[in-house]
Structure 1
Amino acid sequence: MVVWKVGMMGLLQGLELVFLGVENYVMARGGGAESVIYRYFASTMLDCRCRLRFHGGVSSVELREAAPQTPTGALPSTEEPGELHVKYSVSIEIALPREKVVQLLSDPVHRPKWLRGLVLHEPLRGADGQVGTESRVVFQSGGRTMECTETVTRREPENLHGIPSDRVVHFDREIVAAGMWSAAREQITETGTASTLWVSENEYRFNGLIRLAAPFMRGVFIKQSRQHMQDFKSFAEHGTDVREAKD
């Protein structure tokens, strides 16, 4: 496996704070209230867009919704009517040579040291990090557990040793969970003999009740993505292990 989807824990923690409250409200009032809430969000969130700027990198967020429907289950990789669509990007500079960075990112042994909440990353088909490999991934946060399936869709170059300095390294993957499809497109660029730029482009699509909470979680997504990138930077540069951090 290569770089994990850095926004995933943002989804989990955002769900704890927002989605469960929305779900409880809807279910306590039955289908009639649910229908009213769906119509309200469909009318107020169409073509909603915003841009956010963060220290260390510019992040853009796009929210848009197609014709209101209420599909259920996991989402396909192509956009369907009724989905809520979220896109954003984040970036960070790391004070290490690019080859060292990609070696640390791609090594599954190091993953729990910088990826908060990771419980399990288990390849189901294929070898870790190779294109086409499917893996079962489990995260835990605040006593809640989230499980999803990851598929590696791009790894360029395949050989991560002796990479030409002018070549951009790409790590892409898709994530599927109940009510959600997402993609992460990582770009690792050499900016100096001992400096590297990591840019992460993220995309989410939601359906079902989770669509109601997603617009309120956009800030959580970006905050958590940046936290994971900062955790990796601290691990790579200083050896900091998030499992030893005091909350």
Structure 2
Amino acid sequence: MKYRISITLNLPRQKVIELFDNPDNMKHWQKGFISFEHVSGTPGQEGAVSNLKYKMGKRSMELVETILKRDLPEEFHGTYDTKGVHNIQENYFKEIDEHTTEWISVTEFQFSGLMMKAMGFFMPGAFKKQSFKFMEAFKNFAENGISVAEKS
């Protein structure tokens, strides 16, 4: 399953990249985000591997991120793997003008295992909807400083 979505941010591209490229900001736009742990390679660079942990309701999830391409401010691509799911994520940042940036996301999910294949087949809209929720949350954080992080 592959799809493309985009969102326009009312910020200069350099500011968008500054916020997007900082793992400390992930908690502010990825609901359920718990931690980011660098595993190998040069942090933030092509080939780097990291573990990302999330809690969604009572369910915990761990993803392994591998950076495939880093050509910022133009693009950032990576893979995200967890049991039964291989996600290829391509992010493009297009400068519309000096105050506006378009973030284009091309996402591909590859499923293994009967349960995940069934989810991908019967609920493709749920994956696209979740991706767009992350983009909207990033926009809200970047433009307005509003975080989705749970208050403790």
TM over 0.5: yes
Which runs of structure 1 show a deviation greater than 4 angstroms over 4 or more consecutive aligned residues? none
CA–CA separation in structure 2 for the residues paired with 1:239 and 1:213: 34
Does residue 93 in structure 1 map to residue 31 in structure 2?
no
- Which has the larger Rg? 1
1:128, 1:216 → 2: CA distance?
A: 37
Q: Which has the higher strand share?
A: 2
- Superposition pairs for residues 12-27 of structure 1, below 5 Å? none
Of residues 125, 129, 136 in structure 2, which corresponds to 1:219?
A: 125
Mapped partners of 2:85, 2:30: distance in 1? 21
Instruction: Name the SS for the 1:119 alignment partner.
Output: strand
Equivalent position of 2:84 in the other structure: 179
Match for residue 228 of structure 1? Answer: 134
Q: Quote how far apart the aligned CAs of 1:180 are.
A: 1.5
Alignment of 1:92-131 (within 5 A): 92-131=7-46
| Shift, 1:182, TM fit | 1.3
Q: CA RMSD in A?
A: 1.3
Take 1:122 and 1:244, find their aligned partners in 2: how far apart are those partners? 20
**1:130-173 C-alpha deviation (Å, 9 max, x unpaired):** 1100011111101101112110000004xx5xxxxxxxx11000
Report the equivalent of 1:170: 75
The residue type paired with residue 78 of structure 2 is R
Code of the residue aligned with 2:76 in structure 1: it is: F
User: Cα distance, 1:120 vs. partner?
Assistant: 1.3
> What is the rounded CA distance, in whole Å, between the counterparts of 2:37 and 2:79 in structure 1?
15
TM-score (norm 1): 0.59
Structure 2 gaps, min length 5: none
Deviations along 1:56-97, whole A, 9 cap, x unmatched? xxxxxxxxxxxxxxxxxxxxxxxxxxxxxx101110000000
Give the 3-state SS of the residue equivalent to 2:127 in structure 1. Answer: helix
Displacement after TM superposition at 1:236 (Å): 0.5
Is 2:60 the counterpart of 1:148?
A: no
- Secondary structure of the structure 1 residue equivalent to 2:24: coil
- Structure 1 gap segments, 5+ residues each: 1-85, 161-168
SS of 1:96's equivalent? coil
Give the superposition deviation at 1:186.
0.2
Deviations 1:80-118 (A, max 9, x none): xxxxxx101110000000000001000112111111111
Residue number in structure 2 paired with 1:52: none
TM-score (norm 2): 0.94
- Give the length in aligned residue pairs: 150
- Percent identical pairs in the alignment equals 35
How far apart, in 2, do the equivalents of 1:94 and 1:106 lie? 15
- Per-residue displacement from partner, 1:182-237 (whole Å, max 9, x unpaired)? 10000001001100000000001111122122112211111111111000000010
Aligned equivalent of 2:101: 196
> Counterparts of 2:144 and 2:40 in 1: how far apart (Å)?
34
